[in-house]
Amino acid sequence: MDFQTLYDFTYSLTKLYDKAQDRNMLVEGFKQALSIFFPIEDLKVYLMDEYSYLLKDFTKPWENLSLNEENEEIKKYFDNFLIQKSQYEKEKNILYFPIIRKNKTLGLVKLKSREEIKEKNEFFKIFPLVTAQISLYISTLKGAEQVKISSKFHQTLKNIAQITQTQYELDYILPIMGEMIDGFIQEHLIYIFIKNKNKKEYKLIWPNKCSDNKIYDYLEEITPKTTTILKQEGKMGIFPLIVDNKPYGAIVAYNHFDKITKKEIEYLEEIKSQATLTLTRAKSYIEVLEHATLDALTGYNNRHQFEKRLRETTSYAKRQNQPLCCIMSDIDFFKKVNDTYGHAVGDCVLKTVAKTIKKELRESDIASRYGGEEFIFLLPKTNIEEAKIVAERLRLAVEKKKINIEEYNIKDTKEISVTISIGVSEYKNEKDYEMLYKNADGALYEAKETGRNKVVIAK
C-alpha cells in the first residue's frame, strides 16, 4: 500500500471524528473514507440490541429488521463473527466485517461494492486498523448519546417540576407533561390518561388519539398500590399516577416492535414520580386558588373574581346611570399554536398577549382571564362607540406584536405573531346582569365565524 492512500484514508477518518454529530453523519463518513478502496454502492451498520437480541440499523434504531431472507443472512454472519471470531466474510461484491470493542462483538458492517471485491485489495492490508477505528467511533458516539440522554432526562424532570410555576389547571398541565415526556422518550408512543371521577373510567388527555383500545382495559388493573405494569410481552409500560393514595391517571409508553428496556423503565418511573409530585402540588394549588382572585399565568382576575366584579360594576352602573361596556376576546387559532410549537410556547403567547393588552387599558378597566385563551374586559364609564375604539386598539396592538420564542429552541423560528377576535357589548340595565358578557360572547362568536382578527358589536 502506498503512503498517500494510507494518509488519505486516516485523514478522512480523523475529519470524520471531528465533524460527525449524529449517526447518519458517522455512517456517511465511513462510506466516504472506504470509497478510497471500493466503488461503494451502499454501506450499512447494524448493532445487536442486547435487550431484545435483535439486530438494528444503526441509523434507525427504532426499526426492527424484517424477517426476510436478506436480514436472516445478516443475522447468520453476525452469529459467525460471534462464534468463529472470523475477521470478515465476503460474497462477490458484498463484504461483512464485525464491530468489536473490548473483545466483544457489538454488530457488523455490510459494505456493498459496485464491482466484485477481491482479497488483493489494499483495504485488507490495513483491515485491523479499519475495524478498530470504526468500532471506536461508534462506541464514542454511543457514549456521547448516553450523556445527552442523561442530561435531557434531568432537564425533563426539572421542566415537569417547574410547570406549576405558571400553570395549575390540569387541562393545561397534563398535555404539557405529555409533550415533555414524548420529547425525551422518542422511540415509544407516549399517552397520558386521567381517571374520570364520576364515571370511574380513564380518559385520554394527550395526545388526541390512542392507537390501541386494549390500553383502557389494562388501566382498570391499577390500584393504589400498583407500581409499574408491563403488557404485550414488555412492549407496553403503564406507569400509574397515584395522588392522595388514589389512582389519578397514568403515563403509558408503547412500542409496537420492541420491549421497553430496563433503563427506559427506570427513566419513566422517575418521571412518573416527579409527575405525581407536580399533580399533587397542582391539586393543592387548585384548592387554595378557589379562594384566590388572580390567574397565575397572566396576572388578570380569574373567572371567579370576574363574576364578582361583574355583579359590582353592573350594579354601580345602574345606580349611577353610567355607561358600561364589555369586551370579550379570543386568540385566533390558539390550538394550532399549541399543536405546532408546544404548550410551553402557548403559555408564552398567553402571557405576552395579556401583557400587550394590559398596556392599552386604563387603570379603572377590569381585565380577567375567562378561561383558556379567552379574555374579558369590563370598561366602566365607557359607551359603545368608545368601547369600539378601545377594541380596535387592542386588536391592532396584538396583531403588531412579535412574540419572542427563541428560548424554546424551535427550529428555524425565533418569533411568531397571533391575532385576536373581539366581541363588544353595552350594558342596558338588564335585569339579568350576565347578559352583558353573554352578548359580548355572541358577538365574539360572530367575529370568529366571519373571518377572525376583527371586532364585532353586539346587536
State the catalytic residues. Answer: 373
Helix/strand/coil percent split, the chain, to 5:
45, 25, 30
**Cis preceding-peptide flag for 207 (omega within 30 of 0):** yes
Residue with cell 478498530: 132
In 163-284, DSSP assigns E strands to 189-196, 201-206, 229-231, 236-243, 246-254
DSSP 18: H
Short-list 217, 258, 213, CA closest to 234: 258
DSSP 163: G
DSSP 4: H
Spatial distance between the Cα atoms of 38 and 109, rounded to a whole number of angstroms: 14
Residue with cell 466474510: 89
Short-list 40, 92, 48, CA closest to 74: 48
Spatial distance between the Cα atoms of 93 and 42, rounded to a whole number of angstroms: 11
Residue 316 phi, psi dihedral angles, 5° rounding: -65, -45
Spatial distance between the Cα atoms of 160 and 143, rounded to a whole number of angstroms: 26
Residue 276: all three cell numbers together: 405525581
